[in-house]
A and B are shown apart, each in its own frame.
Chain A
Amino acid sequence: MENITQAIQGIPLNHYILLSSIIFAIGVMGVLIRRNAIVIFMSVELMLNAVNLLLTAFSAYRGDAAGQVFVFFIMALAAAEVAVGLAIIVMVYRNTNSADINVLNKLKW
């Protein structure tokens, strides 16, 4: 247990940034290549969580608790966004019988 704590304390800041970048990029790719609305929502959530991770790492690095408080706000915002978004998806699914975002291209006209 002591060993693990020691190892975690030795991780440089750059590795945290790199991990967050990778998670964020995975989220972006998920948004770009999937057409299922729910999967796109999950990818957006992944991006938000990458930013959360980065905020927490910076908060620990700087010794400032404000970063971790921001994480709370981002979580609240994500919850609100997911509630409304999923309601919209359910409504679209009821009307079109699919969660495909391409059926929404009729919104263009």
Chain B
Amino acid sequence: MVLFLFVLMLLNLNEETEPLKPTLLKVMGVVAGMCLLVTLAGSLKALSVSEPVVLQNANLGLVKNLGKVLFNQFLLPFEISSLLLLSAMVGAVLLAKKEA
């Protein structure tokens, strides 16, 4: 989110430069989004179970518990995500450099 704010500040966008889509496209977009919402809500209605979400295990979301799961069961994906972040960082630096 901080990154977003920085870029917004950097790009100096204002209302005159704000690109707008034609109204027809906007209406179509809203209709499509509403269709998606109605479909999801309709399929939700077909689902009859609606029990309250009760934490059976009170310390499920604690850092200790999550860390245990993260570093035992998901150790390999965790390490691979570090690779992903590194490559993203390198890519971002390469792209953002003035004369790449």
Contact = CB atoms under 8 A, between A and B. Distances in A.
| A and B bind | yes
Interface of A: 9-14, 16-18, 21-22, 24-26, 28-29, 32-36, 38, 41-42, 56-57, 59-61, 63, 65-66, 68-69, 72-73, 76-77, 79-84, 86-91, 93, 98-102
The interface residues of chain A, by DSSP majority, are classed as helix
A43 B56 CA distance: 34
Contact of B19 (A61, A79, A100): A100
Interface string B1-44: 00110011011010001111100011011101110110011001
Contacts of A79: 85, 88
A99 B10 CA distance: 12
Contact of B66 (A21, A35, A65, A82): A65
A12 to B, nearest CB: 4
B19 A102 contact: yes
Nearest to A101: B19
Given A14-B47, A80-B88, A41 B4 contact: yes
Interface in B42-100: 44, 47, 49-57, 60-61, 65-66, 68-70, 73-74, 77-78, 81, 84-85, 87-89, 91-93, 95-96, 100
Contacts of A14: 44, 47, 49-50
Contacts of A91: 95-96, 100
Given A11-B52, A17-B44, A21-B40, A29 B29 contact: yes
Contacts of A82: 3-4
A38 to B, nearest CB: 6
Given A36-B19, A88-B95, 7 more contacts: A9-B53, A32-B25, A73-B77, A73-B78, A91-B96, A98-B17, A99-B11
Nearest to A35: B19
Given A29-B30, A90-B7, A102-B19, A84 B95 contact: yes
